[in-house]
Amino acid sequence: MVRTPSRRSLLHATGGALAAALAGCSARERDHGAERGRLLDDVPHATLRTTGARPPLVGPTDDDGDLSLGTVGSDADAAKLSYATDALGASEVAAARRLVAETAFERESILVSQTGIDACYRRRLQYVALDADGDPDVQFCRVVRDAHTPCERDERHHAAVLVRLPLAADEYGSHTVGYGGRCGPVPERYRNESESA
């Protein structure tokens, strides 16, 4: 007569097989190498700030309006950038022009981000990363300006940041730009294994 296993022994065998199948597959231990993306170090950038109604940069845009977010991907695009030289310091304009002039557009591009900001704060480039698809992810945060810098709480300024990306403009399909209120930690998906939060 063939002996049939008891229900208890079947459950025990199934539980053991399931535990063996799932061994080493916890969420923290999975290899996300292809999903992680990578953080870029020492990304060249220039910051411009105006206190009046005119933003630091105008053009190139489709409607000849103010530039808020765009990509400079060629010498022709760079030639269309117009700086509010009457509202900017000479050293700011020189630094921005140098960044653009030193960009090798066959393998690099410049992301331009321009926004309004409260007068007592400044925009800081927090990190630049390439996501899992190789598309740029740029994050800015807001920090209080130096205590000796005069400002009015209800006044608004314009801030523009030009960020040199290590990719030609046609090498990525999209980009992400974020603006945070505080400078928090870099997201885990971009941290190296040795970095801590």
pLDDT values of the chain reduced to their tens digit, one per residue, 197 residues = 444 444 445 445 555 555 555 454 444 444 444 467 899 999 999 999 999 888 999 765 555 455 687 899 999 999 999 998 888 889 999 999 999 999 999 999 999 999 999 999 999 999 999 998 899 999 999 999 999 999 998 999 999 999 999 999 999 988 989 988 888 888 888 876 545 44
Q: Is residue 191 part of a domain?
A: no
What DSSP designation does 186 have? P
Q: Is residue 10 part of a domain?
A: no
Q: Is residue 65 part of a domain?
A: yes
- The model carries a pTM of 0.75
3 state DSSP class of 36: helix
**How many structural domains does the chain have?**
1
Domain assignment of residue 129, given as a range: 36-183
Please report, to the nearest 10 degrees, the dihedral formed by the alpha carbons of residues 66, 171, 78, 46 taken in order: 70
